Structure 1
Amino acid sequence: MTIRATPTATRSLSPSAWLWCASLVLASAFQLFRGAYVDAGIFAAAAIGLVAAERTGFDGSQSGSITPVRSRIRVILLCSLVACGVLLALPLTTLVHIGAMSLLAVIAVFAIATRVARRPPRDAPLRRTEIGWAALLVLLCLWEVTAFFLATSGPAAATEHPTISALVTPVVESDVGRVAFTAVWLFAGGTLLLRRSRSD
C-alpha cells in the first residue's frame, strides 16, 4: 500500500497574530521614517517570521515532549544575556555593537518562527490573553508614534507629550540603571516563556 504525504495546510492568521504583525510593521515603518534602518530591519524581520510561523504552522509542536521547548528557551535567554552584556559594556559606535544588535535580531526571529512556547490547541482564555497582550503592544506603538509627532510642534510640546523612550531614558542613563533594566527585562521575558511552556 502506497502512503502519500499530506501537504501542510496553510493557515490563516489569528486575531492576535494580526495585532502583533500590525505592531511590528508600524514599529518598522516608524524606525524607517526616523532613519534607523537597522531597527526597521529588525522589526520587519520579526513581522515576516511571525507571518511565516502562523501561515505554515511551523511551531515545533511535532514532538510530544516539553523538554526541547524549555531547552530552546534556555538557549534564547543565554544568547540574549550575552548580547545584552555586550551592549552594556561596549561603546555604542563599535562594530561589536552592530554584531550584538544583529544577534538580538536573530534571536527574536528564531523565537517567533519556532514559537518556542506555543502549542495548539489554544483554548479561549489563552486566545483572549494573546489578544490582550497584542492590543497593549499596539497601544504602546500608537503612543510612541503620536507623542513623537506631537513633540515636534514646539519646545514645550516634548515635555507635554513624552514618548516611551523619553520616560525610560532617565532610568537607563546610568550603568546601574541599564543593568537593572536589562535584568528585569530578561527575567520578565523568561518567566513568561517558561510559564507558557508549563501551561501547554
Structure 2
Amino acid sequence: MRQDPADRATRQRLALRRLARPWTIILVITGLFQLFRGAPVDGAFFLAVAAVLLADEFGLVALPAVGLPSGRAGRSALAGVAAVLGTLMVLAPRHGLVEGLIVSGIGLTVLLFAWPDPRSTDAAPTPLRRAGILWAIIAVAICLIEVTSFLLGLPSEAAQFAHPSISLLLDPALDTIEGRVVFTALWLVVGIALLRRGTRR
C-alpha cells in the first residue's frame, strides 16, 4: 500500500524536528570539535551518545526508564555512591584513564536516569522545557568560548596565554587537592540536585 504524501511529509517534518533537538546538535558539534583538536576518544564518546539519542528519537532503540532511588534509604545510597565516586575522582590522576572512565560512567548513568519514559505520552512541563532551553543556551555559550579560545591560541604559546580557555583558567585551582575536593563536591551536588528536579513528576 502506498504511503499518503501528506503523511510522508508529516513524518519528514517530525524527523527534521528530531534532528534539530538542541542537545543532539550540541553533542554532535562537541564530538566533531574533539576530533578536530586531536582527542579521538572524547570525540567518539560524544558522537556515540548523539547517535543513541537519534536512534531513540526515530524509534530504533527503546531504553528502559530508570527511576532515581526514593525515600531516605534511596537518598542515602545515592549520597554514598557519590561520595565514593567523588573520592576516586579526587585521588585519580588528572586527565588519566581512571578519571575518564569515572566521568564517562557517571554521564551514561545520568543519561539513563534522565531518559524519558517511552510509554509516557505526557508532554514535558513548561518549566522543564524552559529550563532545558536555558541550559542549552549556557552550554552553547561555554562551547563557543572554548572554541574561540582554542582557535585564537593555536598560533603560539604566547597566543594561548593571551586567550586562555575556561579549563586553563581552572587548572591552578584543580592542580591542588583542596581545589579538586571543592570542585568535585560542587559538581556532584549540583548534578544530583538538577537530576532529582528534572526527573521529579
The two structures have a TM-score, normalised by structure 1, of 0.71
Match among 129, 134, 137 for residue 136 of structure 2 = 134
- State whether residues 27 and 43 of structure 1, in contact with CA within 8 Å, keep that contact through their aligned partners in structure 2: yes
In 1: Cα distance, 2:64 partner to 2:26 partner = 24
- State whether residues 28 and 46 of structure 2, in contact with CA within 8 Å, keep that contact through their aligned partners in structure 1: yes
Look up the match of 1:165: 167
Instruction: Say if 2:31 is the partner of 1:28.
Output: yes
Look up the match of 1:102: 101
What is the CA deviation profile of residues 102-153 of structure 1, one whole-angstrom value per residue up to 9, with x for unaligned ones? 3432442343245257774213332222112112111211211111010123
My pick for the range that moved more, 25-34 or 45-54, is 45-54
Look up the match of 1:3: none
What is the CA deviation profile of residues 27-83 of structure 1, one whole-angstrom value per residue up to 9, with x for unaligned ones? 21222223222222222222223323434384756xxxxxx6222996777656544
Pairwise CA RMSD: 3.5
Cα drift, residue 87 of structure 1: 3.3
- State whether residues 153 and 159 of structure 2, in contact with CA within 8 Å, keep that contact through their aligned partners in structure 1: yes
In 2: Cα distance, 1:40 partner to 1:34 partner = 9
Match among 48, 52, 55 for residue 49 of structure 1 = 52
Q: Which has the higher contact order (CA 8 A, sep 6+)?
A: 1
The one-letter code matched in structure 2 to 1:125 is P
- State whether residues 85 and 102 of structure 2, in contact with CA within 8 Å, keep that contact through their aligned partners in structure 1: yes
What is the CA deviation profile of residues 3-47 of structure 1, one whole-angstrom value per residue up to 9, with x for unaligned ones? xxxxxx9x7576897221222122212222232222222222222
The two structures have a TM-score, normalised by structure 2, of 0.71
My pick for the range that moved more, 76-85 or 154-163, is 76-85
Q: Tell me, which stretches of 5 or more residues in structure 2 are unaligned?
A: 1-10
In 1: Cα distance, 2:34 partner to 2:99 partner = 19
- State whether residues 146 and 166 of structure 2, in contact with CA within 8 Å, keep that contact through their aligned partners in structure 1: yes
In 2: Cα distance, 1:17 partner to 1:172 partner = 35
Figure out how many residues of one structure are paired with residues of the other and give that number. Answer: 181
Instruction: Say if 2:189 is the partner of 1:191.
Output: no
- State whether residues 53 and 112 of structure 1, in contact with CA within 8 Å, keep that contact through their aligned partners in structure 2: no
- State whether residues 31 and 47 of structure 2, in contact with CA within 8 Å, keep that contact through their aligned partners in structure 1: yes
My pick for the range that moved more, 118-127 or 148-157, is 118-127
Q: Tell me, which stretches of 5 or more residues in structure 1 are unaligned?
A: 1-8, 62-67
The one-letter code matched in structure 2 to 1:71 is P
The one-letter code matched in structure 2 to 1:91 is P
User: Is the alpha carbon distance of 1:151 and 1:21 closer, same or farther for their aligned partners in structure 2, counting shifts above 3 Å?
Assistant: same
In 2: Cα distance, 1:126 partner to 1:46 partner = 22
Secondary structure of the structure 2 residue equivalent to 1:166 = helix
Look up the match of 1:89: 91
